[in-house]
Structure 1
Amino acid sequence: MDVAIRPIIEDDLDMVARIERQAFPTLCPPTPLKREMGNRRVRYLVAWEPLPLDDGETSSGEYRELGTDGSIGGLGKLMGAVKDRLGQRKVRVPTDYLVQGFVGLWFVADEAHITAIAVEEDSRRRGIGELLIIGSIYLAMHLNSAVVSLEARVSNYPARALYHKYGFEHVGLRKAYYTDNREDAVIMTTQPIHSPDYQARFMDLRRKFSDRYGEASIVVV
């Protein structure tokens, strides 16, 4: 899989802002992404891929340090198989690349809350949204969050099905949550993500994703 996950960098901001406008056209004002990058409680991950060259190859690019320390928090032995993915110290970031999606998370107490997730319109149905969910859960595990939560539109059945697949359960309802049409939001939360049952389920889903779409690099810190 050519698409990879990594933390947002300043070079991504214009592309992320464009995807946000596509996905949330009524959002006003737009998210102050540069300011958010300085908030210790907020993290953004992007799904990116190199632009193909004329001969079909991809640009070789350069390596940038993203500050990963090689540790994987409290993930335990089940996470050993992906330690090389979480712990790699350098990410190849070509000069010419595209951000194809992003996810924002807010960390408070023992909870990781997904505040926004969106994929470039022309790149949907490629597994990118699912890869962003996988990256979000890895990040939450790495930062020792107990659970991951989010809101979804009541009418967004495909998204709700994806979240349910990864263990998000319906735990409540926010009435008239969305300002554009006053649609209700379903509150969804995982079971404890460090529990053996959840980690076994998550790793099984991760393997199935790789079997379907190919292996993807995931760097979360």
Structure 2
Amino acid sequence: MENNIVIRNLQEKDIDDLVEIEELCFKTPWTKHSLQKELKNKLARYKVIEKDSKIVAYAGIWFVVDEGHITNVAVHPDHRGLGHGNQIIEALIDECAKSNIISMTLEVRKSNDTAIKLYKKYGFKLSGIRPGYYTDTQEDALIMWKDIEKGEEI
């Protein structure tokens, strides 16, 4: 990994960078207030990639019993194609493995081929469809699941 890249837990000081990434990446971005609430959510774990003191990618997951539900994955558009999507997914998988989570799930827009390809690379499999899940466009969501193997830390 590059010397100027750090993967770490989300901190309050990172919220403004996350808001910027959300607004650049999503049709319906999470608000600053929603992201701040996640810092207090006992079920939530968030990882960020910091490069040169700026957050360039982040991902969140909720731990519910022994399952991890990925809530957000985003890479700043100026930093795509550099492997940060891989790094942040690997960080979530590691977090799950260390926390005795046995499976991970997520919803992804049916049209988001880049994300779907990334998730498949890490063993996520299509398990269903949520029709009209995304209220901004009525687009369907693909439901994907991954089993965590013992010792799977990446």
Fold shared by both chains (TM-score > 0.5): yes
Cα pair 2:44 2:61 within 8 Å, conserved: yes
Output one character per residue of 1:137-192: Cα deviation in whole Å (capped at 9) or x when no partner.
0011111100111111111112111101100000111000111211111100112x
The letter for the 1-side match of 2:35 is L
| Selected match of 1:26 from 25, 28, 34 | 28
Indicate whether 1:145 and 2:101 are aligned.
yes
Query: Which residue does the alignment assign to 1:188?
Result: 144
SS of 1:13's partner is: helix
SS of 1:25's partner is: coil
SS of 1:32's partner is: helix
Of all paired residues, the percent bearing the same amino acid is 38
Compared CA separation, residues 47 and 166, structure 1 to 2 (3 A):
same
| Selected match of 2:8 from 2, 6, 9 | 6
Cα pair 1:112 1:145 within 8 Å, conserved: yes
SS of 1:180's partner is: coil
Q: CA deviation at 1:120?
A: 0.7
Output one character per residue of 1:29-69: Cα deviation in whole Å (capped at 9) or x when no partner.
5562222111110111101112xxxxxxxxxxxxxxxxxxx
1:179 and 1:131 map into 2 onto residues whose CA distance is 29
CA RMSD between the two structures: 1.6
1:156 and 1:33 map into 2 onto residues whose CA distance is 23
Alignment of 1:61-210 (within 5 A): 97-191=53-147, 193-195=148-150, 199=152, 203=154
Higher-RCO chain (CA-CA 8 Å, sequence separation at least 6): 1
1:163 and 1:157 map into 2 onto residues whose CA distance is 10
1:101 and 1:126 map into 2 onto residues whose CA distance is 11
User: 5+ residue gaps in structure 2?
Assistant: none
Compared CA separation, residues 119 and 31, structure 1 to 2 (3 A):
farther
Q: CA deviation at 1:194?
A: 2.6
Query: Which residue does the alignment assign to 1:85?
Result: none
Compared CA separation, residues 29 and 16, structure 1 to 2 (3 A):
closer
Flag the structure with larger Rg. 1
Cα pair 1:3 1:128 within 8 Å, conserved: no
2:40 and 2:80 map into 1 onto residues whose CA distance is 29
The letter for the 1-side match of 2:12 is E
Runs of 4 or more off by more than 3 Å in structure 1?
27-31
1:100 and 1:194 map into 2 onto residues whose CA distance is 29
Q: How many residues align?
A: 152
Query: Which residue does the alignment assign to 1:87?
Result: none
SS of 1:37's partner is: helix
